Amino acid sequence: MTAPAPVLARRLGLLDAVFIGLGSMIGAGVFAVWAPAAQAAGPLLLVGLAIALVVAFCNATSSAQLAAQYPTSGGTYVYGRERLGAWPGFIAGWGFVVGKTAAIAAMALTFGAYVFGPLAPWIAVVIVLLLTGVNLLGVTRTARLTRIIVSVVLVVLAAGVVANLLGGPRDFAPDQPAIPVQGGIYGLLQSAGLLFFAFAGYARIATMGEEVKNPKRVIPLAILWALLLTAGVYAAVGAVLLWRFPPEILAVTEAPLASAAAYSPWEWLTPIVAAAAALATVGAMLNLMTGVGRTTLAMARNNDLPRWLSRVDRTYGVPRNAELVLAAVVCGLVLLTDVRVVIGFSSFGVLVYYLIANLAAFTQQRADRRYPRFLQILGAFACCALVVTLPWQALGLGVAVYFVGVVYRLIRRPDRAPARALVDTDLPEADEPKPRRAAD
């Protein structure tokens, strides 16, 4: 007899979900994405940010509409399978897993660069292992830690913005390091694609559909609130950085917010901003790791990834094997990759993910629709446009990784076999979450 399917407990409310989205977005870009985006867009950096926000809004409405109809773990991987078929679902899930895994590696390296300099890769490995331990203790512990991290980071960012507004623009020496900016329509769209990396964290909320209370109401609200709040933060920070630095200098500034604080009347903020940057990247990693784990869980349930990745820990109600494999892969990436390349690669995977989300939402019936279809058309078109303008390194790596994923699925061909139970018959019953731990 087949064992009961493992389930994830519904423990998160609206505030938890909003903070998880904020933690995924604010840490994912506000300290890391400005330099490559400024190199692409030049003085039109804020226009690129606005384009990225429009694309993110279209994608967010599609995700919110779909999450209300399909409140389960997996996000667009599930929506694509349900609305479009097994292959589109796999393409979306594979894009999310590989893209967000790259994003986690980028955040880990950013953490190391802000705090430990030359030892950044090795310190990144340590922080990945520590956060994996936190995630293995349960999702409500993750949510509580995220609230603390996001609150502290927002206070520091507000202080940094005020400090820079109190000081005038700075004159830079002729030998100040700088590089030419790309500019033009192509550069503007490329900056939007890179900046989209900063907004893509709201997908984290949708992937937790199985752990949110009253998901049909909470998930759509949480996605939109998190996106709008993050947009306000990014607009303020981006405006201050462009006012403080010429684009040619911002493009080569590895820690722009800390550097801006050093040039302000409140120079004592510099180490505090650096510490907040490290804390923000920790928050982003914490939430991205749980999101990738849940999508991996959903894919393993459908045989798109090895079945043993679907095991749910009995005590803490988390996908234990998926979290451990993710930690191992990220540790390998941080020792081999560069931050700028993985940001572009992450954007590639996530834009493909949202292309599938928009197409899936377009097929929903009137009873399940919350937003007009033109938003899904605009979102799908914009995802395609931004993908092709990403740096060639990101495009090449993205195509190669997708090729590997497609070949893997062709070899397994899970769609040939009848649908299987969510748990193999040899999975011990002990892997069901315990009711007594529900308060965790």
CA distance 359 to 84: 8
- pLDDT surpasses 80 at 53: yes
- pLDDT surpasses 70 at 322: yes
pLDDT at position 171, please?
Answer: 60
Instruction: Report, as an integer, the average pLDDT of 78-104.
Output: 88
Residue 306 forms part of a structural domain: yes
- pLDDT surpasses 70 at 120: yes
Residue 272 forms part of a structural domain: yes
- pLDDT surpasses 60 at 434: no
- pLDDT surpasses 60 at 430: no
Summarised one tens digit per residue, pLDDT across range 153-194 is: 888 888 888 888 777 666 655 556 677 788 888 899 989 988
Residue 425 forms part of a structural domain: no
Residue 138: pLDDT band with limits 50, 70, 90: low
What share of the chain in percent tops pLDDT 90? 11
Q: Which of 119-133, 191-205, 347-361, 404-418 has the lowest mean pLDDT?
A: 404-418
Q: Which parts of 245-391 fold into alpha helices (H)?
A: 247-250, 256-262, 269-301, 320-334, 339-362, 373-388
Residue 431 forms part of a structural domain: no
Residue 3 forms part of a structural domain: no
- pLDDT surpasses 50 at 298: yes
- pLDDT surpasses 90 at 4: no
Residue 437: pLDDT band with limits 50, 70, 90: very low
- pLDDT surpasses 50 at 422: no
Average pLDDT of the residues of the chain = 79
pLDDT at position 290, please?
Answer: 76
| Domain extent for 80 | 14-169+178-414
CA distance 312 to 308: 10
What is the count of structural domains for the chain? 1
Residue 347 forms part of a structural domain: yes
pLDDT at position 377, please?
Answer: 95
Backbone angles phi, psi at 73, to 5 degrees: -70, 145
Q: Which of 100-104, 187-191, 217-221, 346-350 has the lowest mean pLDDT?
A: 217-221
- pLDDT surpasses 70 at 6: no
H/E element holding 244? helix 215-244
Query: Which of the listed ranges 146-160, 187-201, 227-241, 409-423 does the model predict with the highest average pLDDT?
Result: 227-241
Query: Which of the listed ranges 26-35, 363-372, 408-417 does the model predict with the highest average pLDDT?
Result: 363-372
pLDDT at position 141, please?
Answer: 58
For the record, the structure tokens of 348 come out as 């590639």
Which CATH number fits the domain that encloses residue 47?
A: 1.20.1740.10
Instruction: Report, as an integer, the average pLDDT of 144-157.
Output: 82
CA distance 176 to 161: 23
Query: Which residue matches tokens 């331990």?
Result: 133
Query: Which of the listed ranges 234-238, 303-307, 337-341 does the model predict with the highest average pLDDT?
Result: 234-238
Q: What is the pTM for the complete model shown?
A: 0.76
- pLDDT surpasses 70 at 273: yes
Residue 393: burial class (beta carbons within 10 Å; 0-12, 13-18, 19+)? middle
- Whole-angstrom Cα Rg for the chain: 21
Residue 99 forms part of a structural domain: yes
CA distance 36 to 54: 20
Residue 432: pLDDT band with limits 50, 70, 90: very low
- pLDDT surpasses 70 at 117: no
Query: Which residue matches tokens 């080569």?
Result: 252
Q: Which of 146-155, 215-224, 383-392, 410-419 has the lowest mean pLDDT?
A: 410-419
DSSP state of 175: T
Q: Which of 148-162, 208-222, 296-310, 344-358 has the lowest mean pLDDT?
A: 208-222
Summarised one tens digit per residue, pLDDT across range 333-363 is: 888 777 667 777 888 888 898 999 999 999 9
Give the three-state DSSP class for 270.
helix
Residue 278 forms part of a structural domain: yes
Pair 294, 319: CB distance under 8 Å: yes
